[in-house]
Amino acid sequence: MGGTTAQRAHSKPWALAKRQHGVVTRRQLLELGFSRKAIEHRILSGRLHQLGRGVYAIGRPGVTLQGRWMAAVLSCGPEAALSHESAASLWGIRTLGLRGIEVSVPIHGGRGPSGVTVHRRATLSPVDVTRCHGIPVTTPVCTLIDIAARLEPGQLEAAVNEADKRDLTDPERLRAALDSTPRRPGIMPLRTLLDRRTFTLTDSELERRFLPLARKAGLAPPETGHFVNGYKVDFYWPNLGLVVETDGLRYHRTPAQQAQDRVRDQAHAVAGLTPLRFTRAQVRFAPGHVCTTLAAVARRLPDGQAR
């Protein structure tokens, strides 16, 4: 039942490696009861493949990107965490950067293996580190602060928007974190971004970005800023019976505001209109989606054709 003691002992590294994306460390193997001689034998026989200082792929040399990230973190010591562009990629808020793998360690931490950029930091505390897919990584807020100083304003705005869309953080929490974080290079760019027009498009900028999308979708110029059914709407096509509203990013709309949005949409629907709602972030970052959606909806409306 359950195999021999030896079989159970030798299954432990495989179970551990499965949790760690196919990699284990020498220290972990020693803690599991393997002798140095047994480890060397497995290296020579091709059952362990060295990925970094004291870190091995188990079974076969190839590992996934997440395995490479895990190996890099494990190579840098027990207090290390994936960080900067690598962390942003793991969280899904930035595409993989070209800087190689980046890991942060406490200021007293060890050096990293070849190909890994190590950031020594006096402020790396337990509250700055969590796990994503089992990999120790800086928190989304810490990651955004780390990359903020490197990015152009538009890139940083897109990263913050993506973090919000993935429910990793929101600007209220992010701003509170900036106010309680010791001085770091990325804090000022983030604070500037969050303060700038409360991180939304102004009405004039919104019109400048939205109207070409409506034109590209085949729609005639809409009425803007008119009152319809007692509500001031952003864009209105009387011939189509189409009302388009553009919301600020999700974190600017309280539950009460969201409920009021539904009442507005319901009032337009009762009046026989078609309400359509986009976020201003979609207008800013996903114009293709906005254009395609406008064209598809307009084709189905009673007037029959967008003009």
Give the residue carrying structure tokens 């590992």: 63
pTM greater than 0.85 (yes/no)? no
> H or E stretch including 76?
none
165-169, 171-175, 187-191: least confidently modelled range: 171-175
Q: Is the pLDDT of residue 307 over 50?
A: no
69-83, 107-121, 207-221, 259-273: least confidently modelled range: 107-121
Give the residue carrying structure tokens 């709309």: 253
Contacts by residues 14-17 (CB-CB < 8 Å, ≥ 24 positions apart): 14/58, 14/59, 17/58, 17/59
Where residue 115 falls (left for φ over 0; alpha for ψ -120 to 50; beta otherwise) is left
251: three-class secondary structure by DSSP: helix
Q: Tens of pLDDT along 27-85?
A: 888 888 888 898 888 888 888 888 877 888 888 878 889 999 999 999 888 889 999 99
Residues with Cβ within 8 Å of 216's Cβ and at least 6 positions away in sequence, in order, are 291
Question: DSSP state, 256?
Answer: H
Give the residue carrying structure tokens 């553009």: 246
